[in-house]
């Protein structure tokens, strides 16, 4: 059928619109899948120093008192997450094998409760397998009420096997907004609860 025939142009337009809508839906779905896909990719390749190791005990590690390692702390948020987030300590010096602790803060700048998920990474990438997180807020999702602020601990060990040429390790977190957000009624009823948690 020629495009000049009655209805030919309209059918072509409808086909084009359907294809564009499919592209939009596919891009939207890819956006939601980006974080888990990133998790799998980093687990397989080890790129970007991704550290999704489960919590472990530091028992059995010998502290190397003859060596110091500087650990730097960095925090950022995804552009569409209305939180302020960062480290309370910019850096610290630790001995390999020493159990150490620091804290990060998170503050919800919006007028609604939001659930966030932190994605960690370690640089340089080769240091990731020697950086053991014992306790970390990144192990679970974090919910903050509107205007609430919370300090969140990180307990870690730099293992003695860290190559001697590495003197500085950077631990960074990026917070993303979780797709499992509280509804409006839960936000209203739990406001006081999360406000108390934030002050703890």
From CA 117, how far away is CA 139, in angstroms rounded?
A: 9
* pLDDT one-digit tens code per residue, 78-132: 999 999 999 999 999 999 999 999 999 999 999 999 999 999 999 999 999 999 9
Cα three-residue angle 143-183-76, rounded to 5 degrees: 35
**Does 18 or 158 have the greater pLDDT score?**
158
Residues 134, 56: contact at Cβ < 8 Å?
A: yes
Residue 175 neighbours by CB under 8 Å, 6+ apart: 75, 76, 77, 78, 81, 83, 85, 106, 116, 117, 118, 119
**Residue closest to 173 by CA, chosen among 92, 103, 112:** 103
Mean per-residue pLDDT for 134-142?
95
> Chain-wide mean pLDDT for the chain?
79
Residues 172, 120: contact at Cβ < 8 Å?
A: yes
Quote the percentage of the chain above a pLDDT of 70.
68
**Does 61 or 191 have the greater pLDDT score?**
61
pLDDT for the residue 44? 41
Beta strands in the chain (DSSP E): 69-77, 83-87, 91-94, 99-108, 114-123, 131-136, 142-144, 149-158, 168-177
CATH fold, domain 48-199, is Ctag/Cox11 (Pfam 04442) (2.60.370)
Judge if the upstream peptide bond of residue 30 is cis by omega within 30 degrees of 0. no
**Does 11 or 95 have the greater pLDDT score?**
95
Report the predicted TM-score, pTM, of the whole model to 2 decimal places: 0.65
Residue 177: count of CB within 10 angstroms of its CB? 16
Give 194's pLDDT tier (boundaries 50, 70, 90).
very low
């Amino acid at each position: 059928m020629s495009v000049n025939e009655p209805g030919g142009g309209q059918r072509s337009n409808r086909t084009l619109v359907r294809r564009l809508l499919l592209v939009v839906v596919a891009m939207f779905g890819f956006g939601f899948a980006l974080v888990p896909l990133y998790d799998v990719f980093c687990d397989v390749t080890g790129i970007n120093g991704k550290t999704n190791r489960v919590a472990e005990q530091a028992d059995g590690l010998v502290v190397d008192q003859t060596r110091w390692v500087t650990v730097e702390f960095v925090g950022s948020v995804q552009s569409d997450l209305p939180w302020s987030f960062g480290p309370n300590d910019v850096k610290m010096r630790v001995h390999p094998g020493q159990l150490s602790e620091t804290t990060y803060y998170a503050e919800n700048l919006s007028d609604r409760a939001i659930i966030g998920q932190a994605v960690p990474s370690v640089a340089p990438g080769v240091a990731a397998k020697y950086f053991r997180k014992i306790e970390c807020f990144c192990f679970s999702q974090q919910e903050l009420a509107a205007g609430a602020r919370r300090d969140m601990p990180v307990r870690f060990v730099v293992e003695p096997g860290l190559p001697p040429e590495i003197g500085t390790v950077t631990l960074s977190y990026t917070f993303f907004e979780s797709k499992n957000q509280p509804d409006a009624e839960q936000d209203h009823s739990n406001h006081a609860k999360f406000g108390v948690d934030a002050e703890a």
